[in-house]
């Protein structure tokens, strides 16, 4: 990589690349190679000592790799709360189209990913509150301090992306148009319809609680679709930015009292061009807020599995934590995003409810098809979203 070598390959060439950081990195001593269990299926990951993380693609997709592209941009922009891009290996076909094969990144010492750290902390906090009964006298818990840090760094990331050079077509912010609003609404409604169709065909093996939640949501199908249609602003405002596009707690590394944002390649199952699309910053925010909901319910479920008493009270505290996490994240985000696009409508905040609903139904589809044991989580949240409609459905249908 350091030599920027180009080697012949079947159907094209192998192209190696290196950033200045790799060229100046001291790699003179032998490096221990360690396997990293990431739980993802798109890459094989190895660490080289405490200097380099090497991600090797297991699923090859032709086209500009969003992770490599974002790594170069963040290096230029001076954003330091993501692992620095060190080097790349790509196959370039005879038409000049790249396919990413491997990427080398800066190694960050860490306590774990944001999902594990937040859920573990919240689990302990819920248990401590149950034992002591002193929830209000403990100050700000570690889990919420961490959420504030995530909010601040997310705001700084989006501020850097919003400041992209106007002459760079791949990153320059673009105004949201009425066509964009129409497309996002159409996509959200279609996803909701697909999710409802899937709920109508749940297998007989579905557990009783999940089936009951699904049945209740199905009675609100028409009202829910109408609700989604009200979530789109009547006037297009704000800008579309390049985003993380797969942003949740597992895409965070916790390092001492700070966090680092990782894995900018987007969801590996989506086409490359879709992962490079621009959208309002609130799309990233929506996926992170949904991650808080999963974290809260997972921590509560851990308490239940350990046979905790006062489960109703614990669940209430878990959902209260979720609300506090959302507010503290958004406040820290807004303060960090305090620039010319910091106003809620200019930052795309008006679209947050639409993107939250869209993400909810995406989760229902995914969990139903891949992790049915988790399907109850988005179902409960969807019912919260439409709770006001539950009392009006009969009247509307009269």
- How is residue 332 written in tokens? 């820290």
* pTM (whole model) above 0.85: yes
Which residues pair with residue 264 across a beta bridge? Answer: none
At residue 55, the 3 state secondary structure works out as strand
Give the burial class of 377: count Cβ atoms within 10 A of its Cβ; 0-12 exposed, 13-18 middle, 19 or more buried: buried
CA–CA dist 350, 260 (Å, integer): 27
DSSP sequence for 114-125: HHHHHHHHHHHH
Query: Alpha helix locations (H) across the chain?
Result: 20-24, 66-77, 114-132, 142-162, 178-199, 208-218, 221-229, 272-275, 282-305, 311-336, 352-370, 376-385, 387-390, 393-397
Is residue 78 classed exposed, middle or buried when 0-12, 13-18 and 19+ CB atoms within 10 A define those classes?
Answer: exposed
pLDDT reported for residue 97: 96
Confidence of residue 391 (pLDDT cuts 50, 70, 90): very low
Residue 46 CB coordination number (10 Å): 15
Query: Which burial class, exposed, middle or buried, applies to 216 when counting CB atoms under 10 A from its CB (0-12, 13-18, 19+)?
Result: middle
Spatial separation of the C-alpha atoms in residues 92 and 88, rounded to whole Å: 12
How far is it, in rounded angstroms, from Cα 228 to Cα 243? 23
Q: Give residue 3's pLDDT.
A: 82
pLDDT more than 90, % of the chain: 78
- Asked if residue 347 has pLDDT above 80, the reply is no
Please state which of the ranges 26-40, 215-229, 230-244, 333-347 shows the lowest mean pLDDT: 333-347
CB neighbour list of residue 356: distance below 8 Å, 6 or more residues apart = 286, 289, 290, 385
Average pLDDT, rounded, for the chain: 91
96 to 16, 64, 103: CA distances (angstroms): 14, 11, 19
pLDDT 10s digits, 226-247: 999 999 998 888 999 999 999 9
**Domains of the chain in sequence order:** 6-106 (3.30.200), 112-243+278-397 (3.90.1200.10)
* DSSP string covering 279-318: B-THHHHHHHHHHHHHHHHHHHHHHHHTT-S-HHHHHHHH
Nearest to 337 by CA among 73, 166, 161: 161
Q: What value does the CA radius of gyration of the chain take, rounded to a whole number of Å? A: 23
Beta carbons within 8 Å of 310's beta carbon, 6+ residues apart: 130
| Residue pair 308/242 in contact by the 8 Å Cβ criterion | no
pLDDT at 362 over 90: yes
Q: Percentage of the chain surpassing pLDDT 70?
A: 92
Q: What is the DSSP annotation of 238-249? A: SEEB---SS-SG
pLDDT greater than 50 at residue 58: yes
């Amino acid at each position: 990589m350091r030599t920027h070598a180009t080697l012949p390959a079947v159907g094209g060439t192998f192209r190696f690349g290196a950033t200045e950081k790799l060229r100046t990195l001291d790699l003179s001593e032998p490096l221990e190679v360690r396997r990293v269990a990431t739980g993802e299926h798109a890459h094989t990951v190895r660490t080289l000592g405490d200097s380099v993380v090497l991600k090797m693609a297991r699923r090859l997709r032709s086209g500009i790799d969003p992770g490599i592209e974002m790594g170069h941009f963040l290096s230029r922009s001076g954003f330091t709360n993501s692992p620095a891009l060190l080097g790349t290996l790509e196959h370039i076909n005879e038409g000049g189209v790249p396919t990413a094969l491997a990427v080398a990144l800066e190694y960050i010492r860490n306590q774990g990913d944001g999902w594990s750290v937040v859920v573990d902390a919240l689990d302990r906090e819920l248990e401590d509150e149950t034992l002591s009964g002193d929830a209000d006298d403990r100050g700000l818990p570690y889990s919420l301090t961490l959420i504030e840090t995530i909010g601040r760094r997310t705001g700084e990331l989006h501020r850097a992306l919003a400041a992209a050079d106007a002459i760079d077509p791949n990153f320059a912010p673009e105004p949201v148009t009425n066509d964009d609003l129409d497309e996002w609404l159409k996509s959200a409604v279609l996803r909701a319809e697909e999710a409802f169709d899937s709920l109508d065909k749940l297998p007989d093996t579905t557990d009783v609680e999940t089936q009951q939640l699904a049945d209740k949501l199905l009675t609100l199908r028409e009202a829910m679709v109408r609700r989604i249609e009200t979530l789109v602003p009547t006037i297009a405002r704000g800008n579309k930015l390049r985003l993380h596009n797969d942003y949740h707690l597992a895409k965070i590394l916790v390092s001492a009292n700070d966090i680092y944002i990782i894995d900018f390649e987007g969801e590996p199952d989506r086409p490359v061009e879709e992962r490079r699309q621009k959208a309002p910053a609130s799309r990233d925010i929506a996926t992170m807020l949904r991650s808080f909901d999963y974290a809260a319910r997972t921590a509560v479920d851990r308490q239940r599995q350990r046979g905790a008493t006062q489960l109703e009270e614990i669940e209430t505290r878990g959902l209260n934590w979720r609300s506090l996490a959302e507010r503290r994240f958004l406040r820290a985000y807004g303060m960090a995003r305090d620039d010319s696009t910091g106003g809620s409508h200019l930052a795309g905040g008006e679209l947050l409810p639409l993107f939250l609903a869209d993400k909810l139904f995406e989760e229902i589809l995914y969990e139903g098809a891949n992790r049915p044991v988790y399907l109850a989580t988005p179902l409960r949240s969807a019912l919260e979203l439409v709770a006001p409609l539950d009392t009006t459905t009969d009247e509307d249908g009269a």
